[in-house]
Structure 1
Amino acid sequence: MKRHFLIFMALAMVAASCSVSKSAREKRSLLDGTWTLEDVSYENNTGNFKSVIFNDAEDICFEGSDWFFRNNNSTGRYTIAPSTYCNGGDRYIRWSVVDSDKNYTSQLQFKFIDAKSKDISGGLGYRLNIVSLTPQAMTLKSNNTVDGETVTVVYEFTKKQ
């Protein structure tokens, strides 16, 4: 009997350590659905920037892209429209919301997967700070270094109805 109790307690501790915070669950629920990335802009530096985002495409290609997040299995995709500058199509992702220990904000993290949900990024991924998230709008930010200076990339989304 004592042994069963110890096994139960060990399993309960493992389950508790893997649980997602209430804040992260709420943000996951709000993220569920389709969003349009309306604008990509830059903070903390002056000048014109042209950048490749997520090691995928130039920033201009992401403006107007649709992002779909499925909460029940943590998969999704973003779709870039084809153009002269942009290699269009779907990019599949596995995503989650994590609470950051550093600045007490939540982050959206994702990595690339294929259409069959297999990792194609070697476990590498991206984290974006969730600055604001409502049922209608979302702002994400990521800090990057350019020539030794910090530049913050700002992503402004609206939810599709």
Structure 2
Amino acid sequence: MKKIILIVLVIFAVGCKSKEKVVGTKLDRSTEIAIKGNWVLSSVNYGGSDYIKVTSFNVADSKCFEGSEWSFVANNNKGQMALNSANCTNYSSNITWYINKDENMVLKFLTEGVKAKHTNSGYILRVVSQSKTQFQLIDKIDVAGKMTDVVYQFDKR
């Protein structure tokens, strides 16, 4: 009898556990509006950059993103990005993005012909140091068991 009561209590406790969202979806419209427009990713910096290579967004070496052009459209949360570095393979993609109230940008690279709602993977980056002419996105990566910031510096075109 004690086992049955214990099992019922465990099932009830597990069944009533609140579900947490990984990413808040309440939008920060004022930050989104401030970021709208055309930007150049002017630099990518992280600790140990002289010794390790980081593949950004599963696309290319992080240094290939320096000089890349980004367009953020605030009214529909879409945009485009293009890598155009001389020593790297050219790459371009449509993107979808939003900024939530936690100051995180949720960014997805879209595959041609696939709608954003069918794209299951994306990136969560912290928005910092925002002004009319620049902002930074910070990603966290694991380097030998230590979390390291990758700082993407954007400048207005």
- Structure 2 length-normalised TM: 0.76
Does the alignment pair 1:151 with 2:148?
A: yes
RMSD: 2.4
Per-residue CA shift, 1:62-103, capped at 9, x if unaligned? Answer: 00001100111111111101544x221311111000123xxx
Q: TM-score of the superposition, structure 1-length normalised?
A: 0.74
Letter of the 1:133 counterpart: Q
Shift of 1:48: 2.4
Match of 1:78 among 74, 77, 81: 81
Q: Which runs of 5+ in 2 are unaligned?
A: 1-24
Equivalent-residue separation in structure 2 for 1:69 and 1:110 (angstroms): 11
Deviation at 1:112, TM superposition (A): 1.6
For the 8 Å contact 2:68–2:85, the answer to whether it is kept is no
Identity percentage over the alignment?
Answer: 29
Q: Decide whether the 8 Å contact of 2:36 with 2:74 is kept in 1.
A: yes
C-alpha spacing 1:78/1:47, structure 2 compared with 1 (3 Å): same
- Seen in structure 2, the aligned counterparts of structure 1 residues 19 and 145 have a Cα distance that, compared at 3 Å, is closer
Indicate yes or no: 2:53 matched with 1:56. no
CA contact (8 A) 1:112 1:120 kept: no
Regions of 4+ moved over 4 Å: none
What count of residue pairs does the alignment treat as equivalent? 134
Segments of structure 1 that go 5 or more residues without pairing to the other structure are 1-17, 101-105
Tell me the CA shift for residue 116 of structure 1.
5.2
Which of the two has higher C-alpha Rg? 2
